[in-house]
């Protein structure tokens, strides 16, 4: 599939406390952009941490990618709710902010071939209440679910390295389970 796919930004974060409803909750959702080449291993990107490996991280969810194309939607949503539209890449807790690749074009098992590593699409993100907290918007997770602007998790099939600005190629897997269908199914189960 010949397309113009690119990494716009790479973000990592450490586990930090969040104050949510007067409770202290640990989370790795706050990500900051990193410069240069970063190492990628089976459990994710060097320097990135997750607080709860039952829902984030691990082999099947080693890297979280988010389409840059969704940022304009979120900026408008925030404006309409009287919130700042300023959203730097990484605002959704993603490790990779990608250009040119949307959820509806992906199937579970599709591979993203970068110059020095290969990542495989495993599942969509199901947002939790922590997204609401960092966004300062109690409707953020619900809006993400309702619109399907969820991003997707990646497993690391070939370890190596990544850098912002790199282009990559999408290589189809078996193409049996469409990412958006999987997200709809998961959403219906959680109602």
Q: What is the pLDDT of residues 100-113, one digit of tens each?
A: 999 999 999 999 99
Q: Is 177 exposed, middle or buried (0-12, 13-18, 19+ CB in 10 A)?
A: middle
pLDDT band, very low/low/confident/very high, at 185 (cuts 50, 70, 90) = low
**Alpha-carbon gap, residue 180 to 191, rounded angstroms:** 17
The confidence score (pLDDT) of residue 182 equals 81
SS3 113: strand
pLDDT at 124 over 60: yes
The confidence score (pLDDT) of residue 52 equals 86
The confidence score (pLDDT) of residue 181 equals 87
Residue 13 in contact with residue 49, Cβ under 8 Å? Answer: yes
What mean pLDDT is predicted for residues 50-75? 94
Q: What letter does residue 127 receive in the DSSP assignment? A: -
pLDDT in tens, 67-107: 999 999 999 999 999 999 999 999 999 999 999 999 999 99
* Domains located in the chain, CATH noted: 5-189 (2.40.33.20)
Instruction: Show the 3-state SS of 38-72.
Output: EEEECCEECCCCCCCCCCCCCCCCCEEEEEHHHHH
Residue 15: CB partners within 8 Å, gap ≥ 6? Answer: 26, 27, 28, 49, 50, 51
Residue 103: CB partners within 8 Å, gap ≥ 6? Answer: 67, 124, 148, 149, 150, 151, 152, 179, 180, 183
SS3 174: coil
């Amino acid at each position: 599939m010949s397309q113009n796919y690119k990494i716009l930004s790479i973000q990592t974060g450490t586990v930090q406390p969040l104050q949510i409803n007067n409770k202290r909750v640990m989370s790795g959702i706050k990500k900051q952009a990193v410069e240069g080449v970063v190492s990628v291993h089976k459990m994710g990107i060097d320097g990135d941490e997750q607080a709860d490996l039952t829902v984030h991280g691990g082999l099947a969810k080693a890297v979280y990618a988010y389409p840059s194309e969704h940022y304009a939607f979120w900026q408008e949503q925030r404006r309409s709710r009287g919130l700042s539209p300023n959203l730097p890449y990484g605002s959704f807790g993603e490790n990779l902010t990608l250009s040119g690749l949307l959820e509806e074009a992906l199937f579970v098992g599709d591979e993203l071939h970068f110059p020095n590593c290969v990542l495989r699409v495993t599942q969509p993100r199901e947002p939790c209440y922590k997204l609401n907290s960092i966004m300062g918007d109690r409707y953020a997770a619900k809006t993400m679910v309702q619109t399907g602007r969820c991003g997707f998790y990646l497993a690391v099939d070939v370890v190596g390295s990544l850098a912002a600005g790199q282009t990559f190629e999408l290589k189809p897997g078996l193409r049996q389970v469409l990412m958006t269908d999987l997200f709809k199914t998961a959403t219906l189960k959680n109602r």
